[in-house]
Structure 1
Amino acid sequence: MTQGTDRSVLLVVGGGIAAYKALELVRGLRERGVRVRPVMTDAGARFVTPMSLQALSGERVFSDLFSLTDESEMGHIALSRSSDLTVVCPATADILARMAAGLADDLATTLLLATDTPVLVAPAMNVRMWEHPATQTNVATLKARGVAFVGPEVGRMACNETGPGRMAEPDAILAAIMARLEGERPLTGRTALVTAGPTHEPVDPVRYIANRSSGTQGYAIAAALAAAGADVTLVSGPTTLPDPPGVRTVRVETAREMLAACMACLPCDIAVCTAAVADWHVVPAAQKIKKTTPDAVPTLQLLPNPDILATLSQPSPTRPRLVVGFAAETEQVADHARAKRLRKGCDWIVANDVSPATGIMGGTENEVMLIDATGCEHWPRLDKAEVAHRLVARIATFLHTPPNTPKQPDGPEP
C-alpha cells in the first residue's frame, strides 16, 4: 500500500439514484489527499455526468473497455492494479451478480475481475432486490472471497419503499475507505470523552433519584470511537453493562461526580454526552427516612445539578473541538433539540423520541436526528451499534475537515 499523498482509490460508479453520493465521496477523499481515478458504467453515466466526476477528482474518467489509446498507454490490466483500493459505489444488484459470476463484459467488471487490490462495495438497490435469495447468495460468495461491504442501511428509498437496501452515507463509506488506506484507524491520535448511563442522586442510604437509561447507546459510541482508533474515556453512571473493549471506563454515581470525572479528561478532541444526567439532587438524609404514619410524605428540597454539557461547551482553551449532546424528548423533538443545542452551546445534538411507545429507552434500536448549525438530518431506525458507527464516521469526517469549511447542501434522498 502506498503512503501519504500517494494513496489512491479506483472508484467504480454504478447505475442508480444513489450515484449522486459518489460525488460527495470523491470530495471527501480529495480533501484527505487521496487520488481518485473514476470508472463509470454506462448506467452510472445516466445518473451523474463524467464531467462532474472529472471536475471533482481532477482525473480523467474511464468507461470504454475498447479504447485503443487506453490500451496503448496503460491497458485495463494496469488500470486495475493502479490503486491501493477499488471501491464500487453504488454497487447495484447487477454489478454484484456479475462480480460473483466472474463476468467481464464492460470496463468496470473487467477491472474488478483483473484487480489484485482489495475491493470495497457499497450496495444500493430496492429492498426486494436486496432480500432476494439470488442477491444474498451473491453477497455471501463475494464476502467469502474477501470483498468488504459497507451498508446497505435501512431507510426510505426513491421507490418509496422502506427497508434494507439504501446505500450507506458518504461519511460511512469514507470512514471505511480511510480505515483501509491509512493502515491505521481514522481517529488514531485523537482523544475522546463519552458520558453514558443515568446518574443516581441519593435521597437517603437506600433511595435515589434517577433517569431511565440503560447506557447502551453511550457504551456503543465509546466502543465505536475506540475501534476507530481514538483514545477513549467513558464516564459512566450506574449500569449493568460490561466495560467496552479498548476503553478506559470511570464509574461514577452522581452528576457532580460525573462532572469532576469529565473535567479531569480535558483537554480532549471529542466529547459525546449521552448520559441521562439527573437535573436535580437533594441533600441526602444520613439515615433512612421513615414513614411515621400512612399518610406521611417527606419534603424534599431539590437543588440544581451542574450542567455537564453546557460546561464542556463553554469557550475555553481546553474545550473539545467537537461537543455532541443528546436530547431525549417525548414531544416536539426537533424543536426542543434545536433549542437545547443553542442553550447549551454544543456543536451537534443527537435527538430522539423516547416516548414509551417507541421502545427506544432501554431497547436495542434507536431512531435519531442529527442537528447542527446548518440543519436537521433524520436517520432511519437502526440498531444502536449502527447508530454509533454512523455517528463516529461523521465525527471522523468532521475532524478531517479544515475548520470553517462550509457544509455542502444535502442532496435528494435515494
Structure 2
Amino acid sequence: MAKIILILTSSIAAPKGLALYQKLKVLHDVKLVLTPDVKYFLPESPPDAFSELFTQQYYDKNSKSLHIDLASQADLLVCYSASHNFIAKITTGITDNLASLVYSASDCYKMLFPAMNNVMYQSAANQRNLKQLIADGVGVFPPKVGLLACKTVGIGRAWEWEDVDQTISKYLTYLDKLKGKKVLLNFGRTKTYLDDIRYLTNNSSGLMGDALHQILTWSRCGLTTVVGDTDFPLYYDHIKVNTNQEMLGEMENYFAQQDIVICCAALNDYQIKEPFKGKIAKRQNPSLKLTLDKNIDVLAQLGLKKTHQFLVGFSAQNDFDLNYARQKLIDKNLDLLIINQTSSMQQSDNEIIFLTKTEVEKINKASKLTIAGQIIQKIISQC
C-alpha cells in the first residue's frame, strides 16, 4: 500500500479526479487535497478532503503543521488535472493555498497532468513553466488532443482517469522492484593531467547521469554515486573523483556489495605518458610534444570483477555502430549496453539503443529525464 497525495485543481476535468480518488483509495492510503476554487467544478466535495490552508484561529510553536504532515509521508504526489494557474504557482514557488504548499513541502516523485484550453496550454508562459518543472524532475504528462470544454478541438484535453490509474500503478510497481536493492552509479567526466594544474578532459556535461540519479532517488533504492566533473553543482551526497584511477578505486570500494552497477561516466581513453611536474612555463616551452598512452578502462576492470552484479555500460559513438557495440558488450562482460551519440553531449535530450546479448531496442529522442526512466525500467525488466 502506497501513500499518495492527490491534488485536484480548478478544472472542468475535476470530477475525473474524484473518480480516480475513489479507485486509488481501495488499494492505497490517499490524501485528497483541493485548491480553493475546485468546489465550483465538483458536484460535492468528499468530507475527508483537505482544502483549508489555516484551520485554527491561533498558531503557536507547538501547533501541528498540516502541510508538513501530509507531505512528509507521501510516496507519490499526483496533480490531476493541473490548471494553468496552479502550474504557474508551483513553478515559481508560490504557496498561498494548501495544495501549492503541500506540493512545495513534498520531496517524493510528482506526476502532473495538465488540462486546459489549447491556446492557454501552448502559451509561452505555460510552456516555459512546464519546461522548468521537467528540469526540476517533475513527471509532466502532456494532455491529449481532442474536443475541449470550450467546444474547440486541440491539445489540452485531460487524460481519462483510468489511464492515470494505470500510469500510477506502473510507477508503484517500478518503485517496489528497486526497494532494498543496492545501486552504484557513476557519471561526469574525468581528467588527464598535463602538469600539476592543466589537464585534458571531454565535453560531457553529466546531465544524463544526473537524470539517472533523480530516477534512482525516487525509487528509494540504496544508492551510491561517484562523480567526476559536471557542468552544474551537485547538492546531494556523492563521492567526487578527478581521474580514471580515482574513479576505479572508488568503484572497487563499493562494487562487491552492489546489485546493480550503472557506469555512465565519460572517462578519458588516453592519458599523458609523462605528466610534467609543477606548472609548465610557456616561455621555456613555446611548443610541446606529448605522448598519449591508453588509459585504464574502468568498465572493463569492473567486468573482470563481476560476480552477481547487473553491470550496465554506456558507449558514446559518432553513429550507431552495432557491430562495435556488440564486441564491447562481450569484451567488458556487460549485461546491458546503452549506445548514444556524441551529438547528445551538452544537450537536454538524448536518443539511445539498448543492447543485450539477445536483443536490440531503439529508444526515440526524448528528454534525458524521460530516457533515464526508460533505462531504469529496462534494467528492472532484465534483472
Q: Same fold (TM over 0.5)?
A: yes
Could you tell me whether the CA contact under 8 Å between 1:178 and 1:185 is conserved in 2?
Answer: no
Work out which of the residue numbers 264, 279, 288 in structure 1 matches 2:269. Answer: 279
Letter matched to residue 311 of structure 2: V
Question: Structure 2, unaligned stretches of length 5 or more?
Answer: 3-21, 29-40, 43-76, 81-114, 123-138, 145-154, 160-164
Counterparts of 1:164 and 1:274 in 2: how far apart (Å)? 36
Q: State the 1:233 CA deviation.
A: 1.4
Please name the residue that 1:354 is paired with.
Answer: 342
Among the aligned pairs, what percent are the same residue? 26
Deviations 1:321-376 (A, max 9, x none): x1111111003433332232122111111111224xxxx21111111111111221
Counterpart for residue 190 of structure 1:
181
1:212-254 C-alpha deviation (Å, 9 max, x unpaired): 1111101111221121111111111122423264xx3010100
Give the Å deviation of 1:278: 0.4
- Evaluate the alpha carbon distance shift between residue 164 and residue 232 of structure 1 in structure 2; reply closer, same or farther with a 3 A threshold: farther
What is aligned with 1:410?
none
Change (3 A) 1:381 1:262: same
* 2:228 is the counterpart of 1:228: no
Amino acid at match of 1:349: L
Aligned counterpart, 2:232: 241
- After TM superposition, give the deviation of residue 268 of structure 1 in Å: 0.4
Equivalent residue of 1:264, what SS?
A: helix
Residue 199 of structure 1: SS of its match in structure 2?
Answer: coil
Deviation, structure 1 residue 186: 3.5
Change (3 A) 1:269 1:174: farther
Contact 2:118 / 2:156 at 8 angstroms: preserved in 1?
Answer: no
1:340 is aligned to 2:328: yes
2:156 and 2:311 mapped to 1: Cα distance?
Answer: 31
**Take 2:198 and 2:238, find their aligned partners in 1: how far apart are those partners?**
25
Pairing 1:323–2:311 present: yes
Instruction: Please state whether the residue corresponding to 2:299 is helix, strand or coil.
Output: helix
1:397 is matched with: 381
Q: Which runs of 5+ in 1 are unaligned?
A: 3-78, 86-100, 103-117, 122-129, 138-148, 155-162, 168-172, 400-414
Output the TM-score relative to the length of structure 1.
0.52
CA distance in 2, matches of 1:313, 1:335: 19
* TM-score normalised by the chain length of structure 2: 0.56
Superposed CA RMSD in Å reads 4.4
Alignment correspondent of 2:105? none
Counting only pairs closer than 5 Å after superposition, residues 360-371 of structure 1 correspond to structure 2 as: 360-371=344-355
Matched, 1:177 2:169: yes
Q: Aligned pair count?
A: 260
How far apart are residue 208 of structure 1 and its match? 1.0
